[in-house]
Amino acid sequence: MRVTSFTGLTAAELDTWLALRAANPALDSPYFHPGFSAAVHAGGQAVHVAVGGGHGVPTVFLPHHREGRLLRPVGWPGADFQGPILAAGTAFRPLDLLGGGAGGYAFDHLVAEAPGFERWVVSRRPSPYVDVTGGLTGYLGRASRSGKDNMGQARRRAAKAERELGTVKFVADSADAADLARVIELKRAQYAATGARDYFAEPGRIRLLESLLATRDPDFGGVLSTLHAGPRLLAAHFGLRSGGVLHWWFPVYDPEFARLSPGWILLRELVAAAPGLGIARIDLGRGEDEYKRRAKTGETVVCQGIVTRNPVRRAAASALVQARAVARSVRARRNR
């Protein structure tokens, strides 16, 4: 395999990337579109691409970042699906990534269908999704009882919000930069309140979202959905869209209106609007959040692990994953 900067790829190679992705249903997430790598690279986080194939014809692309001797998937730590871009059924040797002084390739959201990675996986976790074919009516026909109940409550709470706060307005695909700034502000406040690492502490990640918002191409781009009651932004979501798939990336709501469950109101409106947007599936991303469990109609699996020739490094990665699993279990018991 050779490694090049993302900007070193030729137009023909980018066309091949798109063709390989289109031929593999496991890669329909927006994270596998070259537009995501391009936006991340332009935002200031250098993207390198490992390119494999013989006779001058690429058969695999793997975009990544390099931190010393460690390789990470493109967009890390904000990439919810990871893996090589290759046609379905193509073989892949992950150890081939470790040339040029690279000592490991660490992944935490690898699609389960990625070939060749089985021996390097140390844990698997569910990644829920919502099938929105047929909009709200179609969803309600597939949803669990709790999903239907929450959607019914969302309808009633939307009416209550309108009575108390003013006209409720939902915009499925907004280009309002001020609303995006508010999304980032609310998300950073949420990180601070929960003690989570602030994803937006690096300015390049704010530029990334701004760039994605300005990308108005149905094949790939950002989607900002907003819910207002009167002049107030109750909830919003910024995600990635490619074709018929929308990835649920940065959902937020104003804590002042938590009693109205504005996040559920927003999700209900987005499910109803999905057919008009050409969206058939909303990927909710890895996690056992209660709202994801209630809303989902199905789930896939993503994997954590590290490709390395160093058994000590692999053991350390496995121990860290297991420790985090124990911590999640403890938090879940406390929240029951």
Span 231-275, pLDDT tens digits:
999 999 999 999 999 999 999 999 999 999 999 999 999 999 999
Determine, yes or no, domain membership for 287: no
Domain match, 163 and 222 both: yes
Instruction: Answer yes or no: is pLDDT of 317 > 80.
Output: no
CA distance 170 to 270: 9
pLDDT of residue 216: 82
Domain match, 137 and 121 both: no
- Roughly how many angstroms between the first and final C-alpha of the chain, as a whole number? 49
The pLDDT confidence band at residue 67, using thresholds 50, 70 and 90, is very high
Model's pTM, two decimal places? 0.93
Domain match, 138 and 233 both: yes
Determine, yes or no, domain membership for 265: yes
Other CB atoms within 10 Å distance of the CB of residue 241: 24
Span 132-175, pLDDT tens digits:
999 999 999 999 999 999 999 999 999 999 999 999 999 999 99
Determine, yes or no, domain membership for 192: yes
pLDDT of residue 328: 56
Do residues 106 and 100 lie in contact, with contact meaning Cβ atoms separated by under 8 Å?
A: no
Span 174-225, pLDDT tens digits:
999 999 999 999 999 999 999 999 999 999 999 999 999 999 888 999 999 9
Domain match, 43 and 178 both: no
Domain match, 242 and 143 both: yes
Domain match, 321 and 200 both: no
The pLDDT confidence band at residue 57, using thresholds 50, 70 and 90, is confident
Domain match, 305 and 268 both: no
CATH code for the domain in which residue 164 is found: 3.40.630.30
Mean pLDDT computed over every residue of the chain: 93
Rounded to 5°, the CA angle 108-241-205 comes to: 60
Domain match, 148 and 215 both: yes
Range of the domain at 200: 133-279
CATH code for the domain in which residue 324 is found: 3.40.630
> How many domains are contained in the chain?
2
3-state helix, strand, coil in the chain (%, to 5): 45, 30, 25
Instruction: Answer yes or no: is pLDDT of 55 > 90.
Output: no
Percent of the chain with pLDDT over 90: 88
Determine, yes or no, domain membership for 288: no
Q: Which residues pair with 302 in a beta bridge?
A: 111, 125
Determine, yes or no, domain membership for 96: yes
CA distance 318 to 292: 26
Instruction: Answer yes or no: is pLDDT of 331 > 70.
Output: no
Strand 121-131 with 60-67, pairing: unpaired
Domain match, 118 and 232 both: no
Domain match, 73 and 204 both: no
Instruction: Answer yes or no: is pLDDT of 73 > 60.
Output: yes
Domain match, 227 and 323 both: no
Domain match, 196 and 326 both: no
The pLDDT confidence band at residue 323, using thresholds 50, 70 and 90, is low
Determine, yes or no, domain membership for 295: no
CA distance 222 to 173: 9
Determine, yes or no, domain membership for 198: yes
Determine, yes or no, domain membership for 284: no
pLDDT of residue 330: 53
Residue written as tokens 């009633």?
156
Instruction: Answer yes or no: is pLDDT of 278 > 60.
Output: yes
